[in-house]
Structure 1
Amino acid sequence: MSFSSLGLSDEIVRAVTEHGYTVPTPIQAQAIPTVLMGGDLMGGAQTGTGKTAGFTLPILHRLSAGGDKTPPGGHAPIRALMLTPTRELAAQVEESVRTYGKYVKLKSMVMFGGVNINPQIQRLRSRVDILVATPGRLLDHLQQRTVDLSHVEILVLDEADRMLDMGFIRDIKRVLAVLPKHRQNLLFSATFSDEIKALADGLLNKPVLIEVARRNVTADTVAQKVYKVDRERKRELLTHLIKEHNWHQVLVFTRTKHGANKLSEQLTKEGIPALAIHGNKSQAARTRALSEFKGGSLQVLVATDIAARGIDISELPHVVNFELPNVPEDYVHRIGRTGRAGSEGEAVSLVCIDEKKLLSDIERLIKREIPEVVVPGFEPDPSIKAEPILNGQNRGGGGQRSGQGRAQPGGNRSGNSAAPRPRGPAGTGGKPPLHRSGGRGR
């Protein structure tokens, strides 16, 4: 199967081919014809499946085939609106739109909070056919009457589960209230919780349901291991593993922002170049860390869950759970950063006695036992008793005490956001635009 056989225009296929892709991924093969037909879609897909191109390609085709909708002497209307939960994901999606819309006459724009709103207002005065936005900043523009959504033909809610996690449901409903009632709606989510189903029921009209890769299944290309270790020796073991095996490009997950900072500082003191990314870091700092990590000059990137949402680096070899996540599904998202596009990867978890139940919950979710390894010299002390892990805190392993872990529903809009991952059909390999963060983090 080729992209041209799916019904896409020659101009779009040309741009895709120039980017090195010839065969669509499973979700692209199913989603593209559905979107081209104009019906609503509910797509179940995790990161790394190529879902971004699954909706950007057919939207570009539909809008370009529909001709210019600019009224005589008037302003060209915004015809497609794509909502994402985070700044970096918005940047990645808009980058895909520009990459694949290279040969069609459509203009796109990305908007999010944490940056000066005035350049965005100025940009909206010129032609914008496709708008990619985070909900909070879009509401700012609506309140200031600087954006007109009355002609939107296609709406995309990307990573809807994460938008709900981050407390954006009210913002989304306020945006929906100003959109035309007759439009095409596309909703994508890694999981289908009751909240997602309720949102879909009120949004979608007789949608086609597409699911690729069974929910909460880990890739066969990822070798998973559990290293049993005492909580106070996790950092020492991580340093040993990185140096002993000469690991490069290691993505390490902690539960909290404070823990990410402390661990990156400790690794750097041990002679291992490391930086942390999380919602309290400026956009400039996150962008620099990601750029150095992708370029290979930064050996270790330490991240919190939401900050790492969407990190997509070709052939990323190692993901380390310095601490297991409190939510088992996040384990699947974490290790899904490696072993992509058929390449092999390794997911290592450093597990102390406190995390025994968390490990059991993960194994129950993925329906498999993860092999356990004990490194000589790092054998767990059987006399150490388990201590409770409350609100993301853990006394050991990095000294996290802040409890700043997973965003709570209705709460955090601080920009614990995804890293840019413009990859193309299988996700685009381009470089995202650079942006600064801060403010309300929309």
Structure 2
Amino acid sequence: MSFSNLGLSAPLASAMERQFAAPTPVQAASLPAALAGRDVLVCAQTGSGKTAAFALAVLQRWVAESSSAGRNPQTLVLVPTRELAVQVGGVLSGLARDAGLGVKVSVVFGGVSINPQMMALRGGTDIVIATTGRLLDLVERNAVRLDQIRCLVLDEADRMLDLGFAEELDRIDALLPERHQSLLFSATFGPAVRSLAEARLRDPESITLDTEEQAPPDILQRAIRVDANRRTQLLRRLVTAEAWPRALVFVATKYAAEMVADKLRRAGLQAEPFHAQLSQGKRSQVLFDFKASVVQVVVATDVAARGVDIAGLPVVVNYDLPRAAADYVHRIGRTARAGKTGTAVSFVSAETAAHFALIEKRNALTVPQEEVPGFEPAQALPAISADRAAGGIKGHRPSKKDKLRAAGLLPRLQ
């Protein structure tokens, strides 16, 4: 199948065909329904081409309706993080430019001054990519109106629908026209979140692509047994002994990000923390330096698990295991993107062995566990079968909050 067979305009189809041989499975499956105006709910793995799928749908809609476009935006794309807003904006703007379309794309997010964003919106816009809090700020200042939105896109929709964004999302929904198209895309949808998603849609086309239907990312997954208090030393050893050119390391908290990055720097590695409390300028600089290989190791909270696209990123490390099993998929999906290969390493201690077994069970994985000479755990890891795996990283029994987070009904900790 070619892009021109999907109902795209000749300029859009040609722009895609200059970069890609053929549509990915998620694009081929979702575009016909999206272009027909139906609500769409798409679940497909990271790196499968979801962003381009909804970008093509949005731009094709602009081509068909540009004659009736006014000063106010016709399409709204909501994302959970600043970095994802920038990434999606780059995809949409780049594709529109390559296709010779005169569409105006505006990207707005918090953490920076609101005044330049207000000025940029003053002349009108066609498509807005936004984080929810900054969008509501702009609405309250009369910088943008949402009463002419014809298409709403939720990228990383499972995250957008959890309680961390639910109140803001409800306020935004109240500002939209009653009749509009909704496109929801994510790599994971737990049962509870899927129910919430389907309740927001009108006769949706639900598309779930299994790994058999799409080329799985080429990720070597490793689990290394190690005592919790020796993880930083092991991380330093792996970076140097295995000559990792770059590594994205996930930790549970801002404090851990700062602490681990500091210890790595004192050991002679170029390392930086990355978390939600950093200024947007600092976050952007860290990512720029990481992509340029000026920084070798970025130690991040889950703010980097979605929307951070580092071309050719070779290694992802779960220094702390993710609280929710589904977040494991998003984390390791930062590597092996665009057909590249990658490695995902998880540190497993006696305290987290049960939780890692749960992650394997929920994601239908079996990851061989290994030990690094000199770092053999002093505390023996319990033998836990998949059918006995329990949730929560605090012990063998999950807390009530852990259960709610795993179900997508509480925001993830950063």
**Smaller-chain TM-score range?**
0.7 to 0.9
Equivalent in the alignment of 2:388 = none
Equivalent in the alignment of 1:173 = 170
Query: In structure 2, what is the Cα distance between the partners aligned to 1:76 and 1:382?
Result: 64
Equivalent in the alignment of 2:31 = 32
The yes-or-no answer on 1:345 pairing with 2:332 is no
Describe how 1:27-426 pairs up with structure 2 within 5 A: 27-70=26-69, 76-102=71-97, 103-165=100-162, 167-213=164-210, 219=216, 221-382=218-379
Equivalent in the alignment of 1:427 = none
State the Cα distance separating 1:80 from its structure 2 match. Answer: 0.9
State the Cα distance separating 1:41 from its structure 2 match. Answer: 0.7
State the Cα distance separating 1:98 from its structure 2 match. Answer: 0.8
CA contact (8 A) 1:82 1:155 kept: yes
CA contact (8 A) 1:28 1:50 kept: yes
**AA of the residue aligned to 2:242:** H
CA contact (8 A) 1:47 1:310 kept: no
Per-residue CA deviation, residues 316-363 of structure 1 (Å, 9 max, x unaligned), is 211111122222222222112222333221111122211111111112
Query: In structure 1, what is the Cα distance between the partners aligned to 2:46 and 2:365?
Result: 21
**AA of the residue aligned to 1:222:** I
State the Cα distance separating 1:193 from its structure 2 match. Answer: 3.1
**Aligned CA distance change for structure 1 residues 377 and 412 (closer, same or farther; 3 Å):** closer
Equivalent in the alignment of 1:400 = none
Query: In structure 2, what is the Cα distance between the partners aligned to 1:354 and 1:183?
Result: 48
What is the count of residue pairs matched by the alignment? 394
Equivalent in the alignment of 1:5 = 5
**AA of the residue aligned to 1:4:** S
SS of residue in 2 equivalent to 1:171: helix
**AA of the residue aligned to 2:56:** L
**Aligned CA distance change for structure 1 residues 281 and 170 (closer, same or farther; 3 Å):** same
Which structure would you say has the larger RCO, counting Cα contacts within 8 Å and 6 or more residues apart? 1
Query: In structure 2, what is the Cα distance between the partners aligned to 1:411 and 1:3?
Result: 38
Query: In structure 2, what is the Cα distance between the partners aligned to 1:375 and 1:78?
Result: 55
CA contact (8 A) 1:80 1:153 kept: yes
CA contact (8 A) 1:64 1:105 kept: no
CA contact (8 A) 1:84 1:134 kept: yes
Per-residue CA deviation, residues 93-140 of structure 1 (Å, 9 max, x unaligned), is 122111111111211111122222222222222130111111112222
CA contact (8 A) 2:316 2:343 kept: yes
CA contact (8 A) 1:109 1:130 kept: yes
CA contact (8 A) 2:232 2:260 kept: yes
> TM-score, length-normalised on structure 1?
0.82
Equivalent in the alignment of 1:432 = none
SS of residue in 2 equivalent to 1:346: strand
CA contact (8 A) 1:154 1:185 kept: yes
CA contact (8 A) 1:94 1:132 kept: yes
State the Cα distance separating 1:376 from its structure 2 match. Answer: 1.7
State the Cα distance separating 1:169 from its structure 2 match. Answer: 1.0
Query: In structure 2, what is the Cα distance between the partners aligned to 1:365 and 1:193?
Result: 10
Unaligned 5+ segments in structure 1 are 395-405, 417-442
CA contact (8 A) 1:107 1:128 kept: yes
**AA of the residue aligned to 1:29:** A
State the Cα distance separating 1:366 from its structure 2 match. Answer: 2.6
CA contact (8 A) 2:351 2:394 kept: no
Query: In structure 2, what is the Cα distance between the partners aligned to 1:84 and 1:196?
Result: 16
Higher helix share: 2
Query: In structure 1, what is the Cα distance between the partners aligned to 2:325 and 2:153?
Result: 27
Query: In structure 2, what is the Cα distance between the partners aligned to 1:148 and 1:382?
Result: 59
Per-residue CA deviation, residues 13-57 of structure 1 (Å, 9 max, x unaligned), is 333345x22321111111122211111111113432211110111
Unaligned 5+ segments in structure 2 are 383-390, 396-404
SS of residue in 1 equivalent to 2:128: strand
Query: In structure 2, what is the Cα distance between the partners aligned to 1:226 and 1:93?
Result: 32
**Aligned CA distance change for structure 1 residues 236 and 150 (closer, same or farther; 3 Å):** same
**Aligned CA distance change for structure 1 residues 320 and 183 (closer, same or farther; 3 Å):** same
> TM-score, length-normalised on structure 2?
0.87
**Aligned CA distance change for structure 1 residues 200 and 354 (closer, same or farther; 3 Å):** closer
Same amino acid, percent of matched pairs: 42
